Amino acid sequence: MQKTLKLYQSLTHLPLGKIIFSKMLCFLTPYFSSIKPSIKELKINRCVVFMKKRRAVTNHLKTVHAVAMCNMAELAGGLMTEVSLPQGKRWIPSGMTVKYLKKAKSNLIAIADGNELDWDREGEVIVPVGITDDNNELVFSAEIKMNIKNIK
């Protein structure tokens, strides 16, 4: 089993395990600290990330800024890819297409779902991520291009 997933699973048994994992992740990848994410679920083919609406992630309209949602989508899609790839493969994002569907006026949940993806092939894999608000309405969607390669 992949070490990122093992770490998540071992920490989630602790009372503050998900918080500890989320903070460790932000320490290792500091840019994600800007959205203060909380990893709610992580398993093969699925990652759920929570982001609280707060002033630091809002725009002049007092809604969640588009770039904060892009950041959230990249985190969910990247983590899900990391734990889903078979041994001997690596990945790097190579592009992202996004749709802003509705103003994001509340806390948000990003879900990356890889159940339909073929992780065994090399090349470009499109990872879908949807972001919903507190009313479970889709406010943002992303398709993240992941370049998958065999490790030599």
Quote the distance between the C-alpha of residue 96 and its chain's center.
Answer: 13
pLDDT over 60 at 1, yes or no: no
pLDDT in tens, 12-68: 988 999 999 999 999 999 999 999 999 999 999 999 999 999 999 999 999 999 999
3-class SS shares of the chain: helix, strand, coil, % to 5: 30, 35, 30
Number of domains in the chain: 1
**Is residue 140 a contact partner of residue 73, using CB atoms and an 8 Å limit?**
yes
* Domain of 56, in residue numbers: 3-150
Is 0.75 topped by the overall pTM?
A: yes
What is d(CA 3, CA 6) in angstroms, rounded to the nearest whole number? 5
pLDDT in tens, 82-97: 999 999 999 999 999 9
Residues comprising the chain, all counted: 152
pLDDT over 90 at 152, yes or no: no
Q: CATH number of the domain that 32 lies in?
A: 3.10.129.10
